[in-house]
Amino acid sequence: MRHDLQQRAGHVHFINNLAQTLSDQGRNAEALALLDRAGNPEPRFAAAVAETRALVLQRLDKAK
């Protein structure tokens, strides 16, 4: 997946999916950093990125 990320760095949907996978593995800080790379996604991906970010932040808060 890391190689794919380098090839698809501008593909917000791929970044979002990878962030979701990392969060599912408990790697929430890494997932959040990855979502930060997505910046301001185009409107068709904005809701999905926001949803993933909210989930990751919720999981980080629970881990405290």
Domain assignment of residue 15, given as a range? 2-62
> pLDDT tens digits, residue range 33-43?
999 987 888 88
Q: What is the mean pLDDT of the chain?
A: 85
Domain count, the chain: 1
| pTM score over 0.85 | no
Report d(CA 61, CA 38) in Å as an integer.
21
> pLDDT tens digits, residue range 42-56?
888 899 999 999 999
pLDDT range class, residue 10, cuts 50, 70, 90:
low
What's the per-residue H, E or C state across the chain? CHHHHHHCCCCHHHHHHHHHHHHHCCCHHHHHHHHHHCCCCCHHHHHHHHHHHHHHHHHHHHCC
**What is residue 2's predicted lDDT score, i.e. its pLDDT?**
52
**What is residue 6's predicted lDDT score, i.e. its pLDDT?**
47
